[in-house]
Amino acid sequence: MNCWVANITLTYREGQVAQLGQVYIHGGKICFLILSDTLKNVPMLKSIKNKNQGSEAGRGKAAILKPQLAARHGMGERS
């Protein structure tokens, strides 16, 4: 999960605090991330949640293999 973030408060290990304008962080370097609680109420994220709620389609290889495995073991949808 790579991140491009703005208006950052950076706290160094020694306790020093710095304000940064914009930062790009490679996903492998992220250890801990605090997001604002106000993101729960963002309309854009709610529409994404509702869009994905109805389908069980995932992403990547698991989305392809899960239905195949279910059909192989007789767990597929019956009509």
Print the domain residue range for 34. 3-72
Tokens of 7: 């208006």
Report if residue 65 sits inside a domain. Answer: yes
In a domain, 57, yes or no: yes
**Residue 77 lies inside a defined structural domain of this protein:** no
Q: Which residues contact 9 (CB under 8 A, 6 or more apart)?
A: 17, 18, 19, 20
Query: What is residue 62's predicted lDDT score, i.e. its pLDDT?
Result: 72
Q: Which helix (H) or strand (E) holds 58?
A: none
CA angle 37, 52, 68 (to 5 degrees): 135
Domains contained in the chain, number: 1
pLDDT of residue 78: 54
Q: What per-residue confidence (pLDDT) applies to 44?
A: 75
What pLDDT shows up at residue 42?
78
- Is 7 contained in some domain? yes
> Which residues partner with 6 through β-bridges?
22
CATH number at residue 36: 2.30.30
Mean pLDDT (10-residue bins), the chain, 79 residues: 88 94 90 80 69 60 72 60
Residue 14 included in any domain? yes
Q: Is residue 78 part of a domain?
A: no
pLDDT at 31: 86
